[in-house]
Amino acid sequence: MKDNPQTLFARLKAAAPEEWSAFARHDFLRRLGDGRLGEEAFRRYLGQDYLFLVQLSRAYGLAVFKSDNLDDLRQAAAGMAAILDEMGLHLKYCHDWGLTAEEMGQMAETGATTAYTRYVLERGVAGDLLDLHVTLAPCVIGFSEIAVWMKAEYAETLDDNPYRAWVDLYAGADYRRIADAQLAQLDHLLALRGGPGRFPALQEQFGRAVRLMTAFWDAGLALNR
């Protein structure tokens, strides 16, 4: 997938190339993409991802509350519905890996899971709708970009990869629609709420969110040792 360099998301990434590369080409993802990631580490990651999605649902609920017009209300409600639908697919996928919702719900969040998701919620509470969506972007849009890259990078070996279903989910058309909606919402909110002087603060928030997401991969990789 090629970026339109004029979008806010592309500008945010371009202003933090090293941070984005560390996140989007992390060794955890490379091991997942070529199948070298240990199965127990993947199961633990799935459990953390379930807890992660619970908090992202709350973030979209916050976006509903922070919206002050019908279009933004609808976008936030659609985002929450999409995340809840994703959770349904996630639960089915986790069941195939021997994990139940009850088991995952009783897991303790890792520090990395807590750090990113609570940062998103904090920025949503303290800031406005644009702040909230900027901090969501590395996750919501990033997963789509990462999976599309994986599908191309590991095309010759994906058929034998036990994690292919994960790649297919986030590279697929259904998730792409979620990511595209997030891309469009960022530009919509910037037009309504932004200005030339606001970009540095948005970039700082985006960079911190990317670093916290990188720490989420670090935690997943640590489970592989």
In the chain, the domains with their CATH numbers are 8-222 (1.20.910.10)
Per-residue pLDDT tens digits for 100-123:
988 998 899 999 999 999 999 999
Q: What is the pLDDT of residue 61?
A: 95
Q: What is the pLDDT of residue 83?
A: 86
Q: What is the pLDDT of residue 3?
A: 63
Q: What is the pLDDT of residue 90?
A: 84
Q: What is the pLDDT of residue 224?
A: 61
Give the percent of the chain with pLDDT over 70.
97
User: Please, what are the averages of pLDDT over each run of 10 residues along the chain (225 residues)?
Assistant: 78 96 97 94 90 93 94 92 85 89 90 96 96 96 96 95 94 92 94 88 97 94 70
Q: What is the pLDDT of residue 105?
A: 87
Q: What is the pLDDT of residue 93?
A: 87
Question: Six-digit token pair at 167?
Answer: 């790649």
Of 192, 73, 182, 188, nearest to 120 by C-alpha is 182
Torsion of CA 164, 3, 216, 34, to 10 degrees: 30
Question: Six-digit token pair at 80?
Answer: 């929450």
